[in-house]
């Protein structure tokens, strides 16, 4: 099964392009869940969610809805004294509800394939206990059969990405190292990837049909080895991610989904 969703849903610039102007903010998630059956939550990178917040996510989505939650920055970027137990406790209600697809551990570009960082991945796996975990690298040097073998041995998934074709960035490979297939479509805004005044500018990009077509055989390949395959569009500025997923859905239908 291939599930499509966006990276985040609570954006003011979605008012109009995605959400009706008169729709209350408290109704955004429910409205979103009428269109997609999975969502990647970025808020957990910045702070551990309160229990009432997690309860709201569960209550405002259908029974078959799946969330992927980004690991807190203390676990992936700072890494000095990672509070694995606190994070696991915070997302446990989501796991108990059956709506947690996985934890996305997105590491920064400066996280290189050193022996120390490889050891940290083992620590991450141990620290997050039984939670399913997918790792996103930002340094192309990680791309190797040795890395994929290590992830399989640790029981960690590999995050496939679509992003600008720039030196050092990750190539658009379709690889599954766990039961989950995971894809993030970041857009291809090469001009603003490294140089931007605000973070959203990096993801200000409208996909063309032919660019999304490139992912159809890759998604089919992942589907042969994974269940589910989770695809999240992160080109979120002004709802461009929603448009990308609508195009992708049509392409998958045309290919025999």
Asked whether the predicted pLDDT for residue 257 surpasses 60, the reply is: no
Higher pLDDT, 202 or 211: 211
pLDDT tens, position by position, 150-188: 999 999 999 999 999 999 999 999 999 999 999 999 999
Domain layout of the chain by residue ranges: 2-254
Assign 3-state DSSP to the chain and report helix, strand, coil percentages, each to 5.
45, 15, 40
Instruction: Check residue 200 and give its pLDDT.
Output: 84
CATH of domain 2-254: 3.20.20.410
Percent of the chain surpassing pLDDT 90: 95
pLDDT tens, position by position, 24-79: 999 999 999 999 999 999 999 999 999 999 999 999 999 999 999 999 999 999 99
Instruction: Check residue 160 and give its pLDDT.
Output: 98
Quote the pTM value.
0.96
Contact 101, 38 (CB under 8 A): yes
Instruction: Check residue 197 and give its pLDDT.
Output: 87
pLDDT tens, position by position, 106-136: 999 999 999 999 999 999 999 999 999 999 9
Asked whether the predicted pLDDT for residue 199 surpasses 90, the reply is: no
Average pLDDT over residues 94-100: 97
- Cα(147)–Cα(141) distance, rounded to whole angstroms? 10
Instruction: Check residue 255 and give its pLDDT.
Output: 87
Contact 212, 247 (CB under 8 A): yes
Among candidate residues 153, 199, 169, the one with its CA nearest the CA of residue 7:
199
Q: How confident is the model at residue 232 (pLDDT cuts 50, 70, 90)?
A: very high
Contact 52, 93 (CB under 8 A): no
Six token digits for residue 128: 């997050």
Asked whether the predicted pLDDT for residue 198 surpasses 90, the reply is: no
Instruction: Check residue 222 and give its pLDDT.
Output: 96
Instruction: Check residue 174 and give its pLDDT.
Output: 96
Among candidate residues 204, 226, 100, 87, the one with its CA nearest the CA of residue 158:
226
């Amino acid at each position: 099964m291939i599930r499509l969703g966006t990276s985040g849903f609570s954006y003011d610039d979605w008012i109009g392009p995605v959400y009706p102007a008169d729709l209350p903010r408290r109704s955004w998630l429910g409205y979103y869940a009428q269109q997609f059956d999975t969502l990647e939550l970025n808020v957990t990178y910045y702070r551990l969610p309160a229990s009432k917040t997690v309860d709201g996510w569960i209550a405002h989505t259908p029974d078959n809805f799946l969330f992927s939650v980004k690991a807190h920055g203390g676990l992936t970027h700072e890494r000095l004294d990672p509070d694995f137990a606190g994070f696991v406790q915070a997302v446990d209600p989501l796991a108990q509800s059956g709506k947690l697809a996985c934890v996305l551990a997105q590491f920064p570009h400066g996280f290189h394939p050193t022996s120390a960082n490889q050891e940290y991945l083992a620590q991450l796996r141990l620290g997050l206990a039984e939670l399913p975990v997918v790792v996103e690298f930002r340094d192309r040097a990680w791309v190797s059969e040795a890395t994929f073998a290590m992830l399989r041995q640790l029981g960690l998934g590999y995050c496939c990405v679509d992003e600008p074709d720039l030196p050092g960035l990750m190539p658009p490979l379709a690889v599954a190292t766990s039961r989950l297939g995971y894809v993030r479509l970041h857009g291809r805004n090469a001009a603003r990837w490294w140089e931007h005044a605000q973070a959203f500018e990096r993801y200000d990009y409208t996909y063309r049909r032919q660019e999304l077509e490139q992912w159809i055989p890759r998604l089919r390949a992942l589907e042969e080895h994974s269940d589910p395959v989770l695809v999240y569009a992160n080109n979120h500025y002004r709802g461009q991610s929603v448009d990308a997923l609508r195009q992708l859905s049509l392409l998958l239908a045309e290919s025999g989904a």
